[in-house]
Amino acid sequence: MTQPTPRDSAATRRRLLDAARDEFTARGIAGARVDRIAVAAHANKAQIYHYFGDKDGLFDAVLESFTEEAVGAVPIDADDLPGYAARLFDYHFDHPDLLRLVTWARLEGRTTPSTHAQRTTSYQRRADGIKNAQQEGRVTTALSASHILDLIESLAVGWTTAARGLLVDTSKLKRERKAYRAGIAEAVQRIVQPG
Amino acid sequence: MTQPTPRDSAATRRRLLDAARDEFTARGIAGARVDRIAVAAHANKAQIYHYFGDKDGLFDAVLESFTEEAVGAVPIDADDLPGYAARLFDYHFDHPDLLRLVTWARLEGRTTPSTHAQRTTSYQRRADGIKNAQQEGRVTTALSASHILDLIESLAVGWTTAARGLLVDTSKLKRERKAYRAGIAEAVQRIVQPG
């Protein structure tokens, strides 16, 4: 048996992350089975322990890679916060798995220190963008930059937790998607306008 | 053995609902154990089947009673929507179990027709209150009444799903609670003001 090349290792790690994302999204952390992830990734359990330590380490890695994808896919534009909110809404509408993952983590009482730090850095960078726009008079100073960021996030993802996204027929929400997104953008416009 | 009196029945039903609320909140629907609920309620499994049909019926009853409590505890005031949003935020901050229950239901792909209908009625009543305030010029007509209601709900509960409520230290959120609530009220004020 030959040693795996670096290219093999990266590919195996990627396949394990993909399989783990599906498994954790569907079943949460407690419900996920490492055996099932190994089989789906055409790998074995020993490789999971080698690359990620344990099931918790694997979950952290999945959440981190997913969060990086999301932050990269929806860059903030402090000069167009209504548009940013609309794009954030679209992203989570089209990629519900990230919110599912994070929601499992919350329900299962899981905190993720590494992702927390990573997320805090990206959070700070976005808040700084808003602060800059406030200093130049393009965004209201009636609310702090971090509050504005939190409010925008709440508007963009809150529908998944609020009545509308939960107990109401989701096929109806799909039909109303454009109007709903426009409502979010209008709300953000009203929140951030100076004066 | 004597027949249970109506008073006994109501008390047993109540104890089963209370025990089931704790069990479902902690473990979700799939993870909940009917045996454990029966023991905690000083009852037996046969009584659960008698009163609620099955585990799903018991979950529906728990969610319905909890939702009724919440809607009763936070009545809408269409003339003070910022205050309503702040009270809704407070309620869910102090009673996180309702959102936990609903979130389990969502993650587990559960729809709850009876509660849906009940919730839709209360939803319509609240939207009608806002519509009335719009007709009298006290609330903007730039957004529909139901969008305004959805946006308020998103702002009041969205923090549980957004970064702040998930990966950020919740003890920090507790310290910032007053400022956060004030930010939500300010945002709603800006969203609903006429013109």
In tens, the pLDDT along A115-145 reads: 455 556 778 888 999 999 999 999 999 999 9
Nearest by CB to residue B158, choosing from A158, A167, A180, is A158
pLDDT at position B80 over 90: yes
- φ, ψ for residue A111, nearest 5 deg: -110, 150
What number is the average pLDDT over the span B146-155? 92
Q: What is the mean pLDDT of chain B?
A: 85
In whole angstroms, what is the distance from residue B44 CA to residue B34 CA?
Answer: 9
- Residue A66 pLDDT: 87
Which amino acid would we find at residue B98?
A: L
Cβ–Cβ gap A153/B166 under 8 Å: no
pLDDT at position A5 over 80: no
Cβ–Cβ gap A154/B154 under 8 Å: yes
- Residue A114 pLDDT: 47
In whole angstroms, what is the distance from residue B11 CA to residue B31 CA?
Answer: 26
Please say whether the dihedral angle defined by the alpha carbons of residues A117, A123, A129 and A132, taken in this order, is positive or negative.
Answer: negative
Three-state secondary structure string covering chain A? CCCCCHHHHHHHHHHHHHHHHHHHHHHHHHHCCHHHHHHHCCCCHHHHHHHHCCHHHHHHHHHHHHHHHHHHHCCCCCCCHHHHHHHHHHHHHHCHHHHHHHHHHHHCCCCCHHHHHHHHHHHHHHHHHHHHHHHCCCCCCCCCHHHHHHHHHHHHHHHHCCHHHHCCCHHHHHHCHHHHHHHHHHHHHHHHCCC
Cβ–Cβ gap A105/B166 under 8 Å: yes
In whole angstroms, what is the distance from residue B174 CA to residue B195 CA?
Answer: 35
> What confidence tier does B114 reach under pLDDT thresholds 50, 70, 90?
very low
DSSP character for B138? S
Q: Considering only CB atoms, which chain A residues are within 8 Å of B141? A: none
> Among candidates B120, B99, B68, which has minimal Cα distance to B165?
B99
Chains A and B: how many Cβ contacts under 8 Å?
A: 142
Cβ–Cβ gap A106/B180 under 8 Å: no
Q: Determine the residue of chain A that is closest to B153 in CA distance.
A: A162
Q: What is the mean pLDDT of chain A?
A: 85
Q: CA of A158 to nearest chain B CA: how many angstroms apart? A: 4
Nearest by CB to residue A162, choosing from B30, B107, B153, is B153
Contact indicator for A81, A192 with CB cutoff of 8 Å: yes
pTM of the model: 0.84
Cβ–Cβ gap A150/B105 under 8 Å: no
Contact indicator for A19, A40 with CB cutoff of 8 Å: yes
Helix axes A113-135, A55-73, angle to 10 degrees: 20
**CB-hemisphere CA count at 13 Å for A150?**
27
Cβ–Cβ gap B162/A180 under 8 Å: no
Q: What share of chain B is helix, strand, coil (3-state, %, to 5)?
A: 75, 0, 25
pLDDT at position B69 over 60: yes
Cβ–Cβ gap B161/A99 under 8 Å: yes
Nearest by CB to residue A154, choosing from B147, B158, B190, is B158
Cβ–Cβ gap B154/A153 under 8 Å: no
Q: Considering only CB atoms, which chain B residues are within 8 Å of A161? A: 99, 102-103, 154, 157-158, 160-161
What number is the average pLDDT over the span B82-97? 91
Cβ–Cβ gap A151/B180 under 8 Å: no
Q: Determine the residue of chain B that is closest to A154 in CA distance.
A: B158
Q: How high is the ipTM of this complex?
A: 0.82
- Residue A98 pLDDT: 87
Q: Determine the residue of chain A that is closest to B148 in CA distance.
A: A183
Highest mean pLDDT among A41-45, A99-103, B61-65, B106-110: A41-45
What number is the average pLDDT over the span A31-55? 95
